[in-house]
């Protein structure tokens, strides 16, 4: 397994130099999140991830979770690492102080989760799902529910899950079969079977709090008839301690391609006691409020695994000796040159680097929006942040996982045959990454959400909220002595993005299939343009620092070189996505379904 070193310098570059987090933390009243405090937290988090989680990553993959008669055992060391995590207070880092949390900004929680995901994605699923459940309870639970559940989850004594999918429906939650029957005491009897429940059963916590989508007996059909319930594994005792076992059981765990140390459970509810959370029949809305956060988290898995893979690939490329550089030996004292001398190896490494650092910028910008959506001073600022979040979230989820998967595959390719061997750990990163384009809403669903619901659904308003930012940036930098050519390139693409949107919008008025036909390529096009914007923002800072005579010239020059690479070699992919997005639905819909097999 490649060693993981948290990219603290790059994180600080974005936080302090590109996005001015100190100012935005001050603006949301996060007085505790001083630069020193943030630095100290990141360093502590890095230590935990590098020293505790990373060493368990490959062994976790080899051992997998074990299932025996309803009991799930996580791999060696996982439970102890979780105890350390809880002990360190990490679970409550960004949680509400009213329920025991430290109340630090959400973005800081995401930075920690980046390091966790890069060092051990499987392990990160356990606290990750708990955070998701916590945010749903925080947003929609009653005060009593918060006191009972949220406080214990914040402490890390209880963990959480989200139980949505059933065997016959994943995307289409309108057709779930799990039923909730009202009981005399105000609780509900929940019956049904849920699948793909991450962290659904394990040995890390004393209780597991399932958030379950189910239908009331009189519920309307479809998604407007779904309610959300809290169904704990153990019922809370009168004093809030762990009481009787509820009729919730783990039927089996899945054997998967990757994230093998994350328990993916079938959870059976057999007239289990559940408690309605939020309003009846509004369960899907409750889920949606937490989805921005969860989808950004999933997008970050692409970044995490791309980063881990890059670190391994760069190290290997500097050590592996194979062939001579075409321009003559670079290490004449050795039997061959390190493969990093070869242009095609550099193409792979720079592709990874450009995606990782670009995606990190996108993720942090989005994380900053999450802070603002929660806590900006004015309602207007909060709404503006919400709008940008709504637009960027599906792009984060899908673009970052598509490109993250590409990055992990490239990292493996750099290793040649050794990349295919488990021992080296590079193929695990590909397998672990492969789920990210699928779960938390497939990337196809993200694309529909982006183009159909967000962009066209708002008559372009959400899109303009972002393209205006890019437009202003390009106007301001149009004469930048070093960057003006790239600024012009971005400005052109930004304009084209609007034109493409209009074109699809017009076509979609006649034929709704035009949205689905264009959506995935539209999303990828958008992602490449957005990354170009963030690469220029980073390049701008780097130019300024170099002009000011920084003593970290190499760091800033590497940023400029990677930006140059991105514009020359990756951004042209927009042309292919544009053509495909403009191609219309006929070439997809003309073949009758039964003729696909011919």
CA 489, 492, 493 angle in degrees (round to 5)?
90
Question: Is the CB of 339 or the CB of 370 nearer to a second copy?
Answer: 339
Q: How far is the CB of 418 from a second copy (least distance, A)?
A: 8
Q: Which of 177, 239, 184 is nearest to 213 (CA)?
A: 177
CB nearer a second copy, residue 192 or residue 236: 192
Catalytic one of 427, 440, 552, 582: 440
The per-residue DSSP string of 54-113 comes to GGGHHHHHHH--EEETTEEE--TTHHHHHHHHHHTTGGGTTS-GGGT-----HHHHHHHH
3-state SS, residue 242: strand
Minimum Å gap between C-beta 417 and a second copy is 5
How does DSSP classify residue 489? H
* Cβ count near 495 (within 10 Å): 14
CA-nearest of 494, 527, 534 to 358 is 534
**Between 176 and 389, whose beta carbon lies closer to a second copy?**
176
Minimum CB separation from a second copy for residue 524, in Å?
Answer: 11
H helix intervals, 426-582: 426-434, 443-448, 461-476, 484-510, 513-547, 553-565, 573-581
The smaller minimum CB distance to a second copy, of residues 30 and 313, is found at: 313
CA 444 to chain centre: 15
Q: Does the active-site annotation cover 440?
A: yes
- Do residues 478 and 492 lie in contact, with contact meaning Cβ atoms separated by under 8 Å? no
Nearer to a second copy, 326 or 379 (CB): 326
Give the angle 407-413-419 at the CA atoms, nearest 5°.
Answer: 110
Tokens 């979770």 label which residue? 65
Cβ-based nearer residue to a second copy, 383 or 421: 421
Based on C-alpha coordinates, what's the Rg of the chain? 24
In this complex, which beta carbon is closest to a second copy, that of residue 206 or of residue 586? 586
Minimal distance, residue 465 CB to a second copy, in Å: 25
Beta-carbon-side half-sphere exposure of residue 112 (alpha carbons within 13 Å): 28
**Residue 164 beta carbon to a second copy: minimum distance, rounded to whole angstroms:** 11
Using DSSP's 3-state secondary structure scheme, residue 257 falls into coil
Instruction: State how far the Cα of 231 lies from the Cα of 404, in Å rounded to an integer.
Output: 35
Nearer to a second copy, 444 or 460 (CB): 444
CA dist 50 and 500 (Å) reads 44
Backbone dihedral angles phi then psi of residue 249, each to the nearest 5 degrees: -145, 155
Q: Any bridge partners for residue 273, and if so which?
A: 189
- Which residues contact residue 408 at a Cβ distance below 8 angstroms, ignoring those fewer than 6 apart? 305, 306, 309, 426, 429, 430, 433
Catalytic residues: 440
């Amino acid at each position: 397994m490649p060693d993981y070193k948290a990219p603290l310098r790059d994180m600080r570059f974005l936080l302090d130099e590109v996005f001015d987090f100190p100012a935005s933390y001050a603006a949301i009243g996060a007085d505790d999140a001083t630069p020193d405090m943030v630095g100290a937290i990141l360093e502590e988090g890095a230590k935990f991830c590098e020293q505790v989680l990373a060493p368990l990553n490959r062994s976790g993959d080899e051992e997998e979770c074990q299932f025996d008669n309803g009991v799930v055992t996580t791999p060696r060391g996982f439970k102890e690492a979780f105890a350390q995590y809880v002990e360190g207070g990490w679970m409550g880092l960004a949680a509400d102080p009213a329920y025991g949390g430290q109340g630090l900004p959400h973005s800081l929680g995401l930075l920690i989760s980046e390091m966790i995901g890069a060092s051990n994605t499987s392990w990160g699923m356990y606290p990750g799902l708990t955070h998701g459940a916590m945010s749903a309870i925080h947003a929609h639970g009653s005060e009593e529910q918060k006191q009972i559940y949220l406080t214990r989850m914040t402490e890390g004594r209880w963990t959480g899950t989200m139980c949505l999918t059933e065997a016959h429906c994943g995307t289409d939650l309108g057709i779930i079969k799990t039923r909730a029957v009202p009981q005399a005491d105000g609780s509900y009897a929940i019956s049904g079977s849920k699948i793909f429940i991450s962290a659904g059963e394990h040995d890390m916590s004393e209780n597991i709090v399932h958030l379950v989508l189910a239908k009331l007996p009189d519920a309307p059909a479809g998604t407007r008839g779904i309610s959300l319930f809290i169904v704990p594994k153990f019922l809370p005792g009168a004093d809030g301690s762990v009481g009787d076992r509820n009729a919730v059981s783990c039927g089996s765990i899945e054997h998967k391609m990757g994230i093998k140390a994350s328990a993916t459970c079938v959870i059976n509810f057999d007239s289990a006691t559940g408690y309605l959370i939020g309003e009846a029949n509004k369960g899907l809305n409750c889920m949606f409020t937490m989805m921005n956060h969860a989808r950004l988290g999933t997008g970050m898995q692409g970044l995490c695994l791309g980063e881990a893979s890059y670190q391994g690939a760069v190290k290997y490329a500097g050590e592996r000796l194979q062939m001579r550089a075409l321009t003559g030996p670079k290490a004449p004292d050795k039997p061959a040159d390190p493969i990093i001398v070869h242009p095609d190896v550099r193409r792979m490494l720079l592709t990874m680097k450009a995606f990782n650092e670009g995606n990190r910028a996108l993720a942090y910008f989005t994380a900053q929006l999450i802070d603002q959506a929660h806590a900006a001073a004015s309602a207007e600022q909060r709404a503006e942040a919400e709008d940008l979040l709504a637009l960027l979230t599906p792009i984060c989820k899908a673009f970052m996982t598509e490109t993250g998967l590409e990055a992990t595959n490239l990292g493996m390719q750099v290793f040649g045959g050794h990349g295919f061997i488990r021992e080296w750990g590079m193929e695990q990163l590909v397998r672990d990454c492969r789920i990210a384009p699928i779960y938390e809403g497939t990337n196809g669903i993200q694309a529909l959400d982006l183009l159909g619901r967000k962009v066209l659904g708002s008559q372009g308003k959400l899109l303009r909220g972002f393209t205006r930012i890019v437009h202003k940036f390009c106007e301001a930098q149009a004469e930048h002595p070093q960057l003006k050519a790239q600024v012009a390139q971005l400005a052109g693409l930004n304009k084209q993005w609007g034109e493409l949107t209009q074109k699809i919008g017009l076509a979609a008025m006649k034929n709704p299939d035009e949205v689905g036909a264009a959506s995935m390529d539209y999303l990828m096009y958008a992602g490449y343009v957005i990354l170009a914007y963030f690469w220029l923002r980073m390049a701008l800072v780097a130019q300024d620092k170099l002009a000011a005579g920084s003593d970290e010239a190499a760091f800033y020059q590497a940023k400029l070189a990677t930006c140059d690479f991105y514009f020359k070699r990756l951004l042209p992919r927009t042309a292919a996505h544009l053509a495909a997005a403009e191609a219309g639905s006929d070439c997809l819909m003309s073949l009758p379904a039964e003729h696909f097999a011919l």
